[in-house]
Amino acid sequence: EPEVTQTPSHQVTQMGQEVILRCVPISNHLYFYWYRQILGQKVEFLVSFYNNEISEKSEIFDDQFSVERPDGSNFTLKIRSTKLEDSAMYFCASSERAGGRTDTQYFGPGTRLTVL
Amino acid sequence: AQSVTQLGSHVSVSEGALVLLRCNYSSSVPPYLFWYVQYPNQGLQLLLKYTSAATLVKGINGFEAEFKKSETSFHLTKPSAHMSDAAEYFCAVSEGQAGTALIFGKGTTLSVSS
């Protein structure tokens, strides 16, 4: 069964460094998402992406964050200058249709980011 | 803005017992609601979703949920728990102008004892 994959599974970085989290969505999916979950807190929406542009973003997704689909298979989340509070599990997701409130989002296993 | 509240961060049941995980929503528009499950070291997997077609929704692994507008609830149930049901369960509602953002509850950890 097709699935969303994410690399790396765990990334450790120093405060102020740039990190890129990578995701490979399901191949025929059109919509891509990033979420994060700080330890002990809710899963929070960051951004959705369709047709090579951001569709929606939350207040969390400030200028420190960016997303890109550099080729036909990868979808990346970049954090330019990491802060301690960026430490979290980051989930990538994708959905088949062109957005919509009832679409099923398929999630990857997550990347645990630890900022020291 | 839409939101969901999951009552009980941890629920413990015996194998074979009824599972009831509670979710209440707040929404100014007709909500679309989801239940996801997360097993250790895995991503979130959709159990079921409510899209206004039917108020009783059946999902995978024997789970079902009933949408009750009068109670603003979407509780998840399973008649008989199995050890393999032990996981974390998340209720979510879709939000945003394009409806692409899922707003999650805090999650409920289900433990099943033999």
The distance of B13 to chain A (nearest Cα, Å) reads 22
Task: Let me know how long chain B is.
Answer: 114
Partner residue facing A48 (CB), from B46, B51, B101: B101
Residues of B in contact with A41 (CB under 8 A): 106
Which of A43, A55, A110 lies nearest to residue B100, judging by beta carbons?
A55
Write out pLDDT tens, residues A59-108: 999 999 999 998 878 999 999 999 999 999 999 999 987 656 778 899 99
What is the chain B residue with the closest CA to A95? B100
User: For residue B66, what pLDDT band results from cuts at 50, 70 and 90?
Assistant: very high
pLDDT of B2 reads: 81
Q: With 0-12 CB in 10 A as exposed, 13-18 as middle and 19+ as buried, what is B111?
A: middle
pLDDT on residue A40: 84
The DSSP code sequence of A42-65 is: -EEEEEEEETTEEEEE-TT--TTE
Residue B100 has what pLDDT?
79
Q: CB distance B98–A43 less than 8 Å?
A: no
Q: What is the pLDDT of residue A102?
A: 77
Does position A110 have pLDDT exceeding 60, yes or no?
Answer: yes
- At B20 the pLDDT is 98
Q: What does the pLDDT read at residue A64?
A: 96
Pick from A24, A43, A46 the residue to mutate for testing the B interface (most B CBs within 10 Å).
A43
Res B98: pLDDT = 67
Lowest mean pLDDT among B6-10, B45-49, B92-96: B92-96
* Closest in A42, A55, A110 to B43, CB measured: A110
pLDDT band of B30, cuts 50, 70, 90: confident
State the pLDDT at residue A11.
97
Average pLDDT over chain A, rounded to whole?
Answer: 92
Q: Nearest CA to CA, how far is B92 from chain A (Å)?
A: 10
* Residue pair B33/B104 in contact by the 8 Å Cβ criterion: no
Query: What is the overall mean pLDDT for chain B?
Result: 91
Residue A56 is encoded by which pair of tokens? 């929606």
Model confidence band, residue B29 (pLDDT cutoffs 50, 70, 90): confident
CB contact under 8 Å between A48 and B100, yes or no, is yes
- DSSP string over B40-99: TTS-EEEEEEE-SS-SEEE-GGG-EEEEETTTTEEEEEESS--GGG-EEEEEEEEESSSS
Q: What's the pLDDT score for residue B88?
A: 95
Rounded distance, CA B4 to CA B103, Å?
7
Q: How far apart are CA B13 and CA A105, in angstroms?
A: 29
Asked whether residue A38 carries a pLDDT value surpassing 80, the answer given is: yes
Mean pLDDT of B90-112: 87
